[in-house]
Structure 1
Amino acid sequence: MTVLLVEDDPSISIVITAALEAEGFAVTRCDSIADRDRLLANQPFEALVTDVMLTDGDGIETIGRVRQLAPDMPVIILSAQNTLDTAVRASDTGAFEYFPKPFDIDELARTVRQAVGSSAARTGPDEEAPVAGLPLVGRSAAMQAVYRMITRVLRNDLTVLVLGESGTGKELVAEAIHQLGHRRAGPFIAVNTAAIPAELIESELFGHEKGAFTGAVARSIGKFEQANGGTLFLDEIGDMPMQAQTRLLRALQSGTIHRVGGREEIKVDARIIAATNRDLEPMIAAGTFREDLFYRLNVVPITLPPLRERADDVPALARHFLQLAMSEGLPRHQLAADAAELLSRQPWRGNVRELRNFIYRLALLAREELIDAESVAPLLAQTARNEGEAIGSGLDGAVTDWLATHRPSAGNVYDAALAAFERPLFLHALRETAGNQLRAAQLLGINRNTLRKRLHELDIDPADLHRLS
């Protein structure tokens, strides 16, 4: 079994050669594209292992010549440029596998053996290269695993379930799969299933016919039909009511839908990507999430790590958000090394979303172009104080002011205060959670059903927050 190794770092080349020879491979080594092409033109190899950045060019950009010289030979690409763009470029060449540096040498050796024994190695790149440049930032090992999973699903329609805490960027993963994949010419339709009232979710997903229910004055096309030919992203799938779960499962199994109030069977062709910040398996055990739907959605799971588990990515993310802030009209800033190090030590409980909001606030308030740790520390302290005091001191002060102004009669203080503060408190919780009733209930410390009952009694519609005061 013969392998051609193209690597211009002698130490890495020696280690890889030793590992492959231990697996029984005969390894030929070179360190340039020119030598690679000369060797391929003069003798057959059963696999190619190549670095990207070589002394005389880009190993990915020249894979086309490799395909001309050895059309069926599997290619395994190594790279220290550990970005999603590099992973996608490697996938576009038809590479059997892509390994970001540093990598597990034993895993590389096993992969080479699989590649040599596989008849499924791709024979060429796609005719049309995908668009790159999506804001998935990070070179940590955890994000490398995410990038590799993304590249594996770009050219198929397998259902993907994106898992991760709130604010980790689950929708960005869905957008990357769509925009870099073979359905990029079609629509990308995103639905936050938790933000839709239970009685309306089926109409939102599947549409409805005129007269299907009170207020249905015309036919409405649902999200499934809107996503035809493209991708349907179902966010917060763990909050979907059971009845809607049943209809969703039927749609996924049959590839067809019925509009609410309609009899026509409508064929739909949409790739499904779902996401949740909840652990679905305990919900299955509790009977609040269908087990068969879970297995239908969980064909390819992609788990996004919380930001606290990839602190090394914080400086790159912070600089990325500073660039975005500048492109949106905020002042130009650069991040000093001590500021980046300070940001990396923060817990970022709200994950990437919290970091982004903080950086935008920093870009607005910082006076100097170079932001150092002394500029960052006061804003971090202020943010921590605000989070700790917002509910405690804020409500305490409001109640004190109200009591001083209204002076309710003895024996009536509780009822009067509750009537005065319950509606604004519920509105505040809904705004803080972007209308997500489950999170609003958790924030208030009450049951979700209790929240829904009180919202109805208080005439609060979470779907119409922009009009509520």
Structure 2
Amino acid sequence: MKPIWIVDDDQSIRWVLEKALSRANLPVRSFTGPREASAALEHDSPQVLVSDIRMAGGSGLELLQTAKQRHPGLPVIIMTAFSDLDSAVAAFQGGAFEYLAKPFDVDRAVELILRAVEESLREATDDERITEEPEILGQASAMQDVFRAIGRLSHSSATVLITGESGSGKELVARALHRHSPRASGPFIALNTAAIPKDLLESELFGHERGAFTGAQATRRGRFEQAESGTLFLDEIGDMPLDLQTRLLRVLSDGNYYRVGGHSPIKANVRVIAATHQNLEDRVRQGLFREDLYHRLNVIRLRLPSLRERSEDIPLLVRHFLQKSARELGVETKRISEAALAHLTRFPFPGNVRQLENLSNWLTVMAPAQTVEIKDLPPEFQTTAPMPGASSAQSAYPGTAAGGAAVPTSGGGHAGYGSAGNGSSAPVAGGGNVMATGAVGPGETAGVSGMPGAESWEPILRREVARLLRSASPDVMDQLTRRFETALINEALDFTRGRKVEAASRLGIGRNTITRKIQELGLES
């Protein structure tokens, strides 16, 4: 990893940050002023740049501008006086990742820098993935129709609504629409509206001013601001709360929005691409989705076919995913026999392409031979019909959760049987242990929840809800939410042996979120 650059003319500030970052095992390089750092940027770049705003040798805002010109994706943290609001606003307008108020708590400063490092590494990984891998694969006529539609839209910035089952590749299509649009040079910002708690979603979308609510210690840019001049992808738009639908409609109608707690309108120059696996017409009829917002989003609709509708693409996709998984794991690529391929083309794949990718990752790790035969497939894939005892909504296929939504295997572990999740991101094979519903010990085979005889957790949850309601227990939602989050976090921490960053990654949440949850739930002991 590249070093963190600290730019400050105050030797004590440099010394404190150097020591704190060294304790966190982060490399550090210090500069006494912006001119020295600007000169270094000509031939080198940091992982994260942390700079004071006013120094004897020049302005941190000028250094910010220089850094953004040479390295647009570089996270820059501006340090500023606690009461210097104008400087903070100027920093964000210049593209700063965040600002750090002086005097600052050292632990919080390190936490902020670690968050910027994660963002930097994630952007680098995304850029590499976009450069090295094909966008979307498909030879079926249904996919060729999608490709033609993307081509026709390549000169347009019109709003697009992408529909299709979970795991069918809606975000990949959104990225392709962005890359082949007049806004390709701008950012692509994705937000799964179903994965963000309702209370945080407004701030996540529109940002907030400092002091707008408890805990808002700094002004924060929302996704609309981050996507300026680019594309904002709103996944699972059908789950957006009604009050936020109203705010989104206003942005799409007049192009202006306000940060939470803000009083000055901000002009939005953003293309919106929305996606959902739900039937929005039904949601409108049920009063769960605004009809006027539906018509605003439904300017151009792209429907993605399920994998069942393009089964002739399965051999192409399997070979691609086996190569990809082997490359990421640094092993030889597994081959798959024609008989196994023919068998898989008859499989229903309720989790669609994401489930097929999870299967390919599993085979790379678990298949005993270099050539995969039908007998090497997981038991659930050795029949082309749902398993006895598993309902249609709870089939026991690797990488599939209730309702047929595919479950991603997050980075940092070999992809295998995914744990229950929301299926919001594509799986990535990485180094580490095999993901499974239970630990795989000597002489054991990875198991799957939903095997014959195993009960789905939803009926158990319903019974517990009914019991609490009958007993007139107060705050049922809060009780169950805390118990659910406690179970999730404890299980993830046990799985990662206490490594919070990896646990957060596997749960699909941020490092700061898991730290806050651990504190709120009293799990620190």
Report the TM-score range of the alignment, normalised by the length of the smaller protein.
0.5 to 0.7
Report the alpha carbon displacement of residue 431 of structure 1 after superposing the two structures with TM: 6.3
Separation of aligned partners in 2, 1:302 and 1:131: 25
Match of 2:26 in 1: none
Q: Does 1:144 align with 2:132?
A: no
CA contact (8 A) 1:331 1:364 kept: no
Corresponding letter in the other structure for 2:420: E
Q: Does 1:444 align with 2:445?
A: no
Could you say what secondary structure the match of 2:343 adopts?
A: helix
1:296-315 aligned at under 5 Å gives the runs 296-315=296-315
Separation of aligned partners in 2, 1:314 and 1:435: 20
CA contact (8 A) 2:183 2:229 kept: yes
Report the alpha carbon displacement of residue 379 of structure 1 after superposing the two structures with TM: 6.4
1:24-423 aligned at under 5 Å gives the runs 134-329=134-329, 330-376=331-377, 378=379, 380-381=381-382, 388=390
Could you say what secondary structure the match of 1:367 adopts?
A: coil
Separation of aligned partners in 1, 2:367 and 2:302: 37
Separation of aligned partners in 1, 2:372 and 2:188: 37
Could you say what secondary structure the match of 2:161 adopts?
A: strand
Corresponding letter in the other structure for 2:373: D
Corresponding letter in the other structure for 1:432: A
Report the alpha carbon displacement of residue 136 of structure 1 after superposing the two structures with TM: 1.1
Q: 1:392 to 1:300 in 2, by over 3 A?
A: closer
Could you say what secondary structure the match of 1:233 adopts?
A: strand
Report the alpha carbon displacement of residue 277 of structure 1 after superposing the two structures with TM: 0.3
Report the alpha carbon displacement of residue 326 of structure 1 after superposing the two structures with TM: 1.3
Report the alpha carbon displacement of residue 339 of structure 1 after superposing the two structures with TM: 1.3
Count of matched residue pairs: 296
Match of 2:420 in 1: 432
Report the alpha carbon displacement of residue 159 of structure 1 after superposing the two structures with TM: 0.3
Name the Cα RMSD after superposition: 3.3
- Seq. identity, %: 44
Match of 2:493 in 1: none
Report the alpha carbon displacement of residue 180 of structure 1 after superposing the two structures with TM: 2.5
Separation of aligned partners in 1, 2:377 and 2:236: 33
For structure 2, which runs of at least 5 residues remain unmatched after alignment? 1-129, 397-417, 425-455, 467-474, 486-508
Report the alpha carbon displacement of residue 167 of structure 1 after superposing the two structures with TM: 0.5
Separation of aligned partners in 2, 1:258 and 1:351: 38
Separation of aligned partners in 1, 2:285 and 2:514: 34
Report the alpha carbon displacement of residue 377 of structure 1 after superposing the two structures with TM: 6.5
Could you say what secondary structure the match of 1:232 adopts?
A: strand
Separation of aligned partners in 2, 1:387 and 1:161: 37
CA contact (8 A) 1:322 1:363 kept: yes
Larger Rg: 1
Report the alpha carbon displacement of residue 327 of structure 1 after superposing the two structures with TM: 1.4
Separation of aligned partners in 2, 1:290 and 1:349: 29
Report the alpha carbon displacement of residue 265 of structure 1 after superposing the two structures with TM: 0.8
How does the TM-score come out when normalised to structure 1?
0.57
Separation of aligned partners in 2, 1:355 and 1:132: 20
Corresponding letter in the other structure for 2:140: S
Report the alpha carbon displacement of residue 348 of structure 1 after superposing the two structures with TM: 0.4
Report the alpha carbon displacement of residue 373 of structure 1 after superposing the two structures with TM: 2.8
CA contact (8 A) 2:326 2:332 kept: yes
Could you say what secondary structure the match of 1:203 adopts?
A: helix
Could you say what secondary structure the match of 2:317 adopts?
A: helix
CA contact (8 A) 1:195 1:435 kept: no
Deviation per CA, 1:406-436, whole angstroms, max 9, x where unpaired?
A: xxxxxxxxxxxxxxxxxxxxxxxx9613398
Could you say what secondary structure the match of 1:194 adopts?
A: coil
Q: 1:302 to 1:312 in 2, by over 3 A?
A: same
Separation of aligned partners in 2, 1:238 and 1:392: 24
CA contact (8 A) 2:198 2:241 kept: yes
CA contact (8 A) 1:233 1:274 kept: yes
Report the alpha carbon displacement of residue 260 of structure 1 after superposing the two structures with TM: 0.6
Separation of aligned partners in 1, 2:370 and 2:182: 42
Report the alpha carbon displacement of residue 380 of structure 1 after superposing the two structures with TM: 2.1
Separation of aligned partners in 2, 1:373 and 1:131: 34
Could you say what secondary structure the match of 1:224 adopts?
A: helix
Could you say what secondary structure the match of 1:274 adopts?
A: strand
Could you say what secondary structure the match of 2:155 adopts?
A: coil
Deviation per CA, 1:207-228, whole angstroms, max 9, x where unpaired?
A: 0111111111111100000000
Could you say what secondary structure the match of 2:220 adopts?
A: coil
CA contact (8 A) 1:431 1:465 kept: no
Match of 1:457 in 2: 479
Report the alpha carbon displacement of residue 229 of structure 1 after superposing the two structures with TM: 1.2
Deviation per CA, 1:333-387, whole angstroms, max 9, x where unpaired?
A: 1222111111101110111111110111011112322223333364624997699
CA contact (8 A) 2:387 2:395 kept: no
Separation of aligned partners in 1, 2:283 and 2:457: 20
Corresponding letter in the other structure for 1:360: N
Query: Which has more helix, going by share of residues?
Result: 1
Corresponding letter in the other structure for 2:241: P
Could you say what secondary structure the match of 2:347 adopts?
A: coil
Could you say what secondary structure the match of 1:322 adopts?
A: helix
CA contact (8 A) 1:362 1:379 kept: no
Separation of aligned partners in 1, 2:340 and 2:249: 48
Separation of aligned partners in 1, 2:389 and 2:309: 22
